Amino acid sequence: MREVLYVKNINLKLRIWRQRGPGTPGQFTNYETGPLSTDMSFLEMLDVLNERLTAQGEEPVAFDHDCREGICGMCGAVVNGKPHGPQPRTTLCQLHLRHFHNGDTLVIEPFRAEAFKPLKDLMVDRSTFDGIIQSGGYVSVNTGGAQDANAIPVSQRAAEQALDASECIGCGACVAACPNASAMLFVGAKVSHLALLPQGQPERNRRVINMIRKMDELGFGNCRNEKECERTCPKGVAIRNIARMNREFLRANFLSAEEF
């Protein structure tokens, strides 16, 4: 491979949250990046920093990441107060340095929420999301008994709206953005996805009640209509999914126990 001549370089100042482990206090540490290509992604910037820290005998910055295509939901940090950084509808891994200016200071810290326990540096434990899904975020069908896929028509509109909701990548940015650290966009997205489809109907009522109960139990807050979640969501999951969830919840609560 030929050595690349960078078209444009910038220097950035980084203030990164360093924390050894869950029980130990953390603090911000300052780093100068040196010249970086503006074609570089944000996570590649952290890679470059980590290579340098390693060579200097320091511990690299721990951060979660995997697909680097904006779909696995593993990455995420707060950059200058915004989860996943300043670009709308963009995960941290898809954020590129061309959106910053030479000399900018970037304050980088983990997603903070009562229900996301810190692990190390920028990594947090989001297993509470799995806990919410376990409480009912699925259709209870065993493998093998399904009828022909075309037996029940589903309107294109319902299918598209369900997909809008189920595009959620489970990254947790909505929780980090919410002043109440609420998971209602995450829960609302799953409740909506299944409530909109005929396959989700048999468990529609118990699903919404169980998921909301679990969400409360795990220490997530409630929605106060700040809409920060919608603004932050890298997949553009809309706040109307929370409204739909609230309707579903009200509806389910008006039903008698036999209807569950």
Partner 1 sequence: MNLDARIPGGPLSEKWDRHRFELKLVNPANRRKFEIIVVGAGLAGASAAATLGELGYNVKCFCIQDSPRRGHSIAAQGGINAAKNYQNDGDSVYRLFFDTIKGGDFRAREANVYRLAQLSTAIIDQCVAQGVPFAREYGGLLANRSFGGAQVSRTFYARGQTGQQLLLGAYGALMRQVHLGKVTMYPRKEMMDLVTVDGRARGIVVRDMVTGKFESHAAHAVVLATGGYGNVYFLSTNAMASNVSATWRAHKRGAGFGNPCFVQIHPTCIPVHGTYQSKLTLMSESLRNDGRVWVPLHAGDKRTPSQLPDADRDYFLERKYPAFGNLVPRDVASRNAKEQCDAGKGVGETGLAVYLDFAEAIRRDGQETIRKKYGNLFDMYEKITGESPMTTPMMIYPAIHYTMGGLWVDYNLMSTVPGLFVLGEANFSDHGANRLGASALMQGLADGYFVIPNTIGGYLAQGGFGTVGTDHPEFREAMKSSSERIRQLLRIQGKRTVDDFHRELGLLMWDKCGMSRNETGLKEALAKIPEIRAEFWDNVLVPGDATDINQSLERANRVADYLEFSELMVMDALERRESCGGHFREESQTKDNEALRDDANFTHVSVWEYGGPGQSPVMHKEPLVFEECELCERCYT
| 102 lines the binding site for partner 1 (CB under 8 A) | no
Closest to 87 in 3D by CA, of 237, 232, 229: 232
- Closest to partner 1 by CB, 219 vs 227, is 219
Among 27, 30, 150, 225, binds partner 1 (CB under 8 A): 150
- Minimum CB separation from partner 1 for residue 226, in Å? 26
| 40 lines the binding site for partner 1 (CB under 8 A) | yes
Question: What character string, x for contact with partner 1 (CB under 8 A) and - otherwise, covers 199-228?
Answer: xx----------------------------
- Number of residues interacting with partner 1: please give it, by CB under 8 A: 85
Give the interface segment with partner 1, choosing from 100-108, 122-130, 175-183, 246-254 (CB under 8 A). Answer: 122-130
| 260 lines the binding site for partner 1 (CB under 8 A) | no
End-to-end CA distance of the chain: 63
Helix, strand, coil percent content, the chain, rounded in steps of 5: 40, 15, 45
- Closest to partner 1 by CB, 150 vs 256, is 150
- Closest to partner 1 by CB, 31 vs 227, is 31
Distance CA 222, CA 169 (A): 20
User: CB within 8 A of 160, min separation 6: which ones?
Assistant: none
- Minimum CB separation from partner 1 for residue 218, in Å? 14
Distance CA 74, CA 126 (A): 10
- Provide the pairing of β-strand 105-109 with 9-18: parallel
Among 10, 106, 162, 215, binds partner 1 (CB under 8 A): 162
- Closest to partner 1 by CB, 78 vs 123, is 123
Distance CA 141, CA 128 (A): 24
Among 11, 134, 222, 253, binds partner 1 (CB under 8 A): 134
User: CB within 8 A of 224, min separation 6: which ones?
Assistant: 179, 180, 182
Among 26, 104, 170, 246, binds partner 1 (CB under 8 A): 170
Closest to 74 in 3D by CA, of 21, 117, 127: 127
Closest to 64 in 3D by CA, of 37, 39, 46: 46
| 32 lines the binding site for partner 1 (CB under 8 A) | no
DSSP letter at 113? Answer: B
59-98 residues near partner 1, rule: CB under 8 A: 59-60, 62, 64-69, 71-74, 90, 94, 96, 98
Whole-number CA gyration radius for the chain? 21
